[in-house]
Amino acid sequence: MPMAALPTTSTPTSSSALASDAAGATPPTTAAFSPLYSQIKALILQSLQSGEWKPGEVIPSEMDLAARYRVSQGTVRKAIDELAIDHLVVRRQGKGTFVATHAEQHVQFRFLKLVPDSGTPGSGGPAQRQVIDCRRTRATADVARALALRTGDAVLQARRVLSFAGTPTILEDIWLPAAPFKGLTAERLANHVGPMYALFETEFNVRMVRAEEKIRAEPAIDGREQLLKVEHGTPLLSVERIAYTYQNVPMELRRGYYRTDTHHYHNTLN
- Pick the closer one to a second copy by CB: 186 or 211: 211
- Could you give phi then psi for residue 212, rounded to 5 degrees? -125, 140
Q: Is 236 in the site for a second copy (CB under 8 A)?
A: yes
Smallest distance, DNA to C-beta of residue 6, A: 11
| Helices 36-50 and 73-85, packing angle to 10 deg | 60
Between CA 96 and CA 51 the distance in angstroms is: 18
Amino acid at 253: L
Between CA 171 and CA 159 the distance in angstroms is: 7
Half-sphere exposure (CA, 13 Å, Cβ side) for 27? 0
Smallest distance, DNA to C-beta of residue 69, A: 9
One residue of 47, 49, 73, 185 binding DNA per CB under 7 A: 73
Contacts of 156 (CB under 8 A, 6+ apart): 134, 135, 136, 137, 175, 176, 177, 178, 181, 184
244 by DSSP, 3-state: which?
Answer: strand
Q: Is 106 in the site for DNA (CB under 7 A)?
A: no
Q: Is 159 in the site for DNA (CB under 7 A)?
A: no
Q: Which of residues 75-94 bind DNA (CB under 7 A)?
A: 75, 77-78, 91-94
User: What single-letter DSSP state applies at residue 106?
Assistant: G
Q: Which of residues 89-118 bind a second copy (CB under 8 A)?
A: 110-111, 113
Smallest distance, a second copy to C-beta of residue 237, A: 5
Q: How many CB atoms lie within 10 A of CB 191?
A: 10
Q: Is 248 in the site for a second copy (CB under 8 A)?
A: no
Query: What mask, x for binding a second copy by CB under 8 A, covers residues 192 to 231?
Result: ------------------xxxxxxxxxx------------
Q: Which residues are at the interface with DNA (CB under 7 A)? A: 1-3, 12-13, 33, 35-38, 59, 61-64, 71-75, 77-78, 91-97
Q: Which residues are at the interface with a second copy (CB under 8 A)? A: 86-87, 110-111, 113, 210-219, 233, 235-238, 241, 258, 260, 264-270
